[in-house]
Amino acid sequence: MMEYMKHCQEGTLIYHDYGKEIMKHRMPWMINQWCYLHLFSYEGYLKAVKFLLGYSHSVPLYMCETMMLIPLGRIRDYDMVWINHAAVKCFYTRNNNLSIHFISGNIFEIKQPQKSYELQVMKLEKIRNTKVKHFH
């Protein structure tokens, strides 16, 4: 399962529970492709979320139960990271850093307030509940 991804000089560095891989494509391209595989466009998703829930900045991306991406940082920033919340076991603040523990046992630390991650999780849950409600 994908845990998180970030930019690198070669493209996108994706961390899985079994290791890491470098994709030659940039993150926006990767996000668009994954959205298409789940039968929607990223642009349309953002418009729908803004229309239904009023979120326009740092919008979490719910694709399915195993792919729930939370952006850490501004989308256009090079050092931003996407966390797959479906792979997260727990998170907490340690030494002024957000420490994210994944189900696999891997740990990722970033200088980010825990409160902002909690807000992203709440947004993701609202989006998930809204999206799942429409398909059941």
Q: How many CA atoms lie within 13 A of 34 on its CB side?
A: 17
Residue 135: its pLDDT value, please?
56
DSSP 41: -
Tell me which residue range forms the domain holding 109. 2-134
* pTM for this model (two decimals): 0.92
- pLDDT on residue 134: 61
What does the radius of gyration of the chain's CA atoms come to, in whole angstroms? 14
DSSP state of 6: E
What are the tokens at 20? 């890491």
Q: With a cut of 70, which residues of the chain have pLDDT below it? A: 134-136
**68 phi and psi, to 5 degrees?**
-125, 95
Domains: count for the chain: 1
CA distance between the termini of the chain: 25
pLDDT tens, residue by residue, 70-108: 999 887 788 899 999 999 999 999 888 999 999 999 999
pLDDT reported for residue 12:
95
Pairing, β 107-110 against β 2-8: unpaired
